[in-house]
Amino acid sequence: MYCDDLDYDGTVRKGYHQIQFIPDNTGAPLEFMGSTTGSNYTEDKCSTIDVTWSVRHQRALMAINSLTN
C-alpha cells in the first residue's frame, strides 16, 4: 500500500467520509462517539458538535518510500 492510496477524495460511504482506499485486511472498525474538545468544555458541559471516529484492530503495511514528498 502507498501513502497516496489513503488520500481523501470526497468519498462518502454509509454517511461517513472515507479515504480513497480502506485495506480489507485490517478487521472491522470499533466506532466511538464523542464531541469536540476545548478549554470551554468539561465532563459536565460538552460541545454540541458530535464527532465519531473508528479504530481498526489490524495494521496494514505501507511502502516506506511512499511517505516522501
- What is the mean pLDDT for each group of 10 consecutive residues in the chain (69 residues)? 79 81 83 74 76 82 80
Q: CB neighbours (10 Å) of residue 50?
A: 10
Q: pTM here?
A: 0.45
Q: Which domain holds residue 56?
A: 3-67
Based on the structure, what is the number of domains in the chain? 1
CA nearest to 16, candidates 50, 53, 59: 53
Q: How far is CA 16 from CA 1, 13, 19, 59, in A?
A: 22, 5, 10, 21
**Model pLDDT, residue 33:** 77
**Model pLDDT, residue 36:** 67
